[in-house]
Amino acid sequence: MILFDHVTKSYSGDKKPALDNVSLHIEANEFVFLVGKSGAGKSTLIKMITKEEMPDEGKIIIGGIDLDYVKKRHIPHYRRRIGTVFQDFKLLPTRTVYENVAFALEIAGMSNREIERTVPKVLDLVELSDVAYKFPDNISGGQRQRTSIARAVARQPKILIADEPTGNLDVETGQGILDLLEKINDYGTTVLVTTHDANAVNHLKKRVVTLRDGKIVSDQKDHGIYRLDGDNDGISLPQPGHLHPETYLMRDQRKQPPKRRLIQ
Amino acid sequence: MSKKSTVSRLKQMAKSGSGHFFRQGSRVFKYGAIGFGRNIWLSITATIVTTLTLILLFATIVASSVLTSTANAMREKIDISIFFESDTTKEELASMSKTIEKDENVKSVEYSTAEEEYDKLYQSYKESDNQSMLTTLEIVGRDLMIQRQPAAMRIKVYNTDDLSSIKNIVNSDEEFIKHLSKKEDPTYNTNSSAIQTISSWADIATKGGTALSILFLVISTLVIFNTIRMAIYSRSEEIYMEKLVGAGNVFIRGPFLVEAMISGVFAGIISTILSLVGYYALSPRLEAYEIQVGSINSFLSEPKNVILIALALILTGSVITLISARLAIQKYLKRL
């Protein structure tokens, strides 16, 4: 579903590359935490998935699309296939919760009737029906993040990227958000969450990929209690680079997501 | 993953995700209108700046028109005066008039005998109720005054800059030389500089008015551009977010353009009202200074012309704000 094949990215003026020969494969329906300290390369990796940045070397394939061939005019269409959640929510301040969620459907050209049918269901899923007509400034941080998630999943994307989704929230609210992301994953959406919050990682016990100085230093599928002390890279890394990207796509296609739908 | 399969997938996405043209268009208009209301202070600022621009534009065009017609009217009033001995008869004046009318530069000729000149003078004092002058005239006596009053010929010309051919006739024609007044010289020498000054005023009014209008338009477009740019800068995060969610440029830009256009339309309506009220308040005072507002007054007396002005100002306002918004948002659309 998400494939990084020997990806390197440097920013001008920086001595070290932001991503250094990174190879990563996330299968369909997986839930993966991407952890690392500030500057480890998490955001760069996310920006590559959303095609805000392009790699200097290597190949990125997302949901069967080779990003090398995505032209500028096709970027909006590509982005509509990925749900994105941000630490600072990035909601439209002049639109209500309902309108923020509806926006994701409107840009995709969905009819008003479909939107009126879908948005209440999504708001119900994220437990925001009560605040549907409030503006982002008038709801809590947790509710804002739920709005952001609702907007991201409204189009039922195959992939959901959450960049530090609990970063601005207290522990309890953050865990509620993670539970919601897990619920979304249960319905068959591949979820990638970046965080430097050990509580978040330990709460769900999922696959954890650790980045340090632009390199993957650990990829743990089953782990004990996780500490973000930088010493968690003892497990050998899977190296998908020796396989051709097509092989991964075939594996993705073989693995069928659950038949139930997130939004009925 | 081949290029071919990626491109075909993307084309399929583009096809399924573009939506109905009118549906998307109506959403752009809806969010533009909502945005205008929800960003009311920025909308008011843009509307005020555009209104001021349009009022300035209206004032410049009116001033240019008024100055031109005033200069033309003044030019009409100016004539060349040639004076003759008081015993010059009507027939002699008519003969000389025919001679001078042959010159191509001559527009019209009026003449009056000494007696008629005196009567005009007397009548003008009477109309202006100048009692001291009337008393003087009565003391001196009509007959004596007529003997001292020269007969006069007043000539209007097409080109006030070149009077040489007329001067040539006056100075060389025998009949003119015979009757020219010994006491009073023709006035074209003393008037020529005034004629030239007024001619250049008319030129300045026409050319300067146009230049000033263009200058105002450029300056105001820059001012509006900066106002809208500041407004968009404060919402650049919003644009960034919309792009990340997958909104296309048309969908992001559209509501901003609609917001700007609404500002332009409001500015057009407000400036039409304020300009007309201002004009009607000022025009009696201008008339008192002999400034020619007649042509504008008659133009404005037709309701369809008022509607035409309103439409022109609304259109200009919308175009200025649309261009400014388009330029201002371009930078942020390139960001991702």
What are the DSSP calls for B46-62, one per residue? HHHHHHHHHHHHHHHHH
Q: Are residues A108 and A236 in the same domain?
A: no
Grade residue B311 by pLDDT with cuts at 50, 70 and 90.
very high
In this structure, of A107-116, B7-16, B286-295, B316-325, the range with the lowest mean pLDDT score is B7-16
Contacts of A110 in chain B (CB under 8 A): 19
Whether A262 maps to a domain, the answer reads: no
Q: Are residues A43 and A167 in the same domain?
A: yes
Interface check for B40 against chain A (CB to CB < 8 A): the answer is no
Estimate to the nearest angstrom the gap between the alpha carbon of B209 and the chain centroid. Answer: 6
Minimum distance, in Å, between the CA of residue B234 and any CA atom of chain A: 12
- pLDDT reported for residue A238: 35
To test the contact with chain A by mutation, choose from B1, B26, B29, B336 the residue with the greatest count of A C-beta atoms within 10 A, namely B1
What sign does the dihedral B258-B259-B264-B269 (CA atoms) show?
Answer: positive
Please count the structural domains in chain A.
2
- pLDDT reported for residue B56: 82
Q: Are residues A31 and A66 in the same domain?
A: yes
Final residue in a domain of this structure, among A101, A133, A155: A155
Are the beta carbons of B246 and A69 separated by less than 8 Å?
no
Q: Are residues A30 and A49 in the same domain?
A: yes
- Residue linked to tokens 């175009």: B319
- pLDDT reported for residue A240: 37
Whether A136 maps to a domain, the answer reads: yes
A19-26 and A2-9 beta bridge pairing: antiparallel
Whether A86 maps to a domain, the answer reads: no
Is B328 a residue whose pLDDT tops 80? yes
List chain B domain ranges.
Answer: 20-73+199-333, 86-180
- pLDDT reported for residue A146: 92
Final residue in a domain of this structure, among A136, A155, A174: A155
CB atoms within 10 A of CB B2: 10
Grade residue B205 by pLDDT with cuts at 50, 70 and 90.
low
Final residue in a domain of this structure, among A109, A125, A155: A155
Q: Are residues A74 and A172 in the same domain?
A: yes
Any idea what the CATH number is for the domain that residue A62 is in?
Answer: 3.40.50.300
Q: Are residues A136 and A213 in the same domain?
A: no
- Residue linked to tokens 């069928």: A256
Is B19 a residue whose pLDDT tops 80? no
> What gap in Å lies between CA B41 and CA A198, rounded to an integer?
44
Q: Are residues A133 and A176 in the same domain?
A: no
Question: What pLDDT digit, counting tens, does each position of B161-193 carry?
Answer: 677 888 888 888 888 888 888 888 887 654 556
Whether A43 maps to a domain, the answer reads: yes
Q: Are residues A236 and A193 in the same domain?
A: yes
> What gap in Å lies between CA A84 and CA A148, rounded to an integer?
8
SS3 content of chain B, % helix, strand, coil (to 5): 80, 5, 15
- pLDDT reported for residue A10: 92
- pLDDT reported for residue B186: 81
Looking at domain B86-180, its CATH class is alpha beta
In this structure, of A19-33, A68-82, B9-23, B282-296, the range with the lowest mean pLDDT score is B9-23
Q: Are residues A67 and A164 in the same domain?
A: yes
Interface of A with B in 11-40 (CB under 8 A): none
Query: Which mean pLDDT values do the consecutive 10-residue runs of chain A (264 residues) have?
Result: 92 88 92 89 92 92 89 87 88 90 88 91 91 94 92 90 87 87 89 86 86 89 55 36 40 51 65
Question: What pLDDT digit, counting tens, does each position of B212-229 carry?
Answer: 777 777 877 787 788 778
Q: Are residues A76 and A193 in the same domain?
A: yes
Interface check for A116 against chain B (CB to CB < 8 A): the answer is no
Whether A261 maps to a domain, the answer reads: no
Mean confidence (pLDDT) of chain B: 82
Q: Are residues A68 and A174 in the same domain?
A: yes
Grade residue B237 by pLDDT with cuts at 50, 70 and 90.
confident
Helix (H) or strand (E) holding A28: none
Q: Which domain holds residue A6?
A: 2-81+157-254
The residue ranking higher by pLDDT, B335 or B294, is: B294
Q: Are residues A71 and A166 in the same domain?
A: yes
